[in-house]
């Protein structure tokens, strides 16, 4: 079993507030497992009996819209926690979490999390800050959908994927999203997304190589995104 006190990932979340004794308790009760690409970590409406710490990999948080399509609300990467809001509010999850690539996650039972929450002020404050940050991000998504056109949203999304997840040796975006997933983030039909990517390709903003996307003119993309 990996030792929580030696795990660098915990430094990225509220878990960094735990002391050595608490980290030993965490190591004793947590469960680590691999989630394969495409597998569901939890579904919208589930009652969670703990939180998940993402040790490696990326997942998407999705919301089922009225037309039956999944809207991608957020991408969650290494070091982030899943299920905090549901745990604190004692409500079912309002989003689904699905692995975009093979992941390693650690599950911490609710009883242990709530012990930390009640006994460690820095931990509970960190959890609340994370939840507030998620709410702020959700507000920004709503504003972007309302105020930016689809081209601007696509440019902003491509830059976000570049800046947050990096590139491969050939310069292509490291996090591979399907055209359908990109369209879900920017809130448009898949066909429109494909057409816009083709436009960006022709105008030299990006280069399409099969399913790979390479950002060729980040300066112009940033102008467009703003």
Q: Where in the chain is the domain with CATH 1.10.10.10?
A: 148-225
**The two structure tokens encoding residue 219:** 């300066």
Q: What whole-number distance in Å separates Cα of residue 156 and Cα of residue 148?
A: 10
So what CATH class is 8-120?
Answer: mainly beta
pTM, two decimals, is 0.86
pLDDT in tens, 7-28: 888 888 889 999 999 999 999 9
Q: 191 vs 46, 146, 154, 194, CA distance in Å?
A: 32, 21, 13, 5
Cα pseudo-dihedral 137, 141, 146, 150, rounded to 10? 150
Q: Say yes or no: domain 148-225 is CATH 1.10.10.10.
A: yes
Beta-carbon-side half-sphere exposure of residue 51 (alpha carbons within 13 Å): 27
Q: What whole-number distance in Å separates Cα of residue 94 and Cα of residue 92?
A: 6
What pLDDT was estimated at residue 134? 83
Q: Indicate the DSSP class of residue 57.
A: S
Strand order through the sheet with 96-99? 40-42, 96-99, 59-64, 70-76
Cβ proximity of 32 and 2 under 8 Å: yes
pLDDT in tens, 179-225: 999 999 998 999 999 999 999 999 999 999 988 999 999 999 999 99
Residue closest to 225 by CA, chosen among 166, 148, 162, 165: 148
Of the listed ranges 5-9, 46-50, 78-82, 185-189, the least confidently predicted one is: 5-9
Q: Where in the chain is the domain with CATH 2.60.120.10?
A: 8-120
């Amino acid at each position: 079993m990996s030792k929580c006190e030696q795990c660098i990932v915990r430094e990225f979340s509220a878990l960094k507030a735990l002391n050595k004794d608490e980290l030993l308790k965490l190591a004793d009760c947590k469960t680590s497992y691999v989630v394969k690409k495409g597998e569901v970590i939890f579904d919208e409406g589930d009652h969670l009996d703990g939180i998940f710490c993402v040790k490696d990999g990326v997942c998407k948080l999705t919301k089922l819209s009225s037309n039956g399509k999944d809207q991608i609300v957020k991408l969650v990467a290494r070091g982030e926690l899943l299920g905090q809001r549901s745990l604190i509010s004692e409500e079912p999850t309002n989003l689904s979490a699905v692995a975009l690539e093979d992941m390693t996650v650690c599950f911490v039972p609710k009883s242990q999390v709530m012990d930390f929450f009640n006994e460690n002020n820095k931990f509970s404050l960190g959890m609340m800050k994370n939840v507030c940050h998620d709410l702020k991000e959700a507000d920004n998504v709503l504003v972007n959908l309302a105020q930016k056109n689809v081209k601007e949203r696509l440019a902003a999304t491509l830059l976000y994927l570049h800046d947050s997840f990096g590139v491969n040796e050939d310069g292509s975006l490291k996090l591979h999203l399907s055209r359908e997933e990109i369209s879900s983030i920017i809130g448009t039909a898949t066909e429109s997304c494909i057409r816009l990517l083709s436009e960006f390709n022709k105008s030299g903003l990006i280069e399409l190589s099969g399913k790979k996307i390479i950002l060729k003119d980040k300066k112009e993309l940033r102008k467009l995104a703003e």
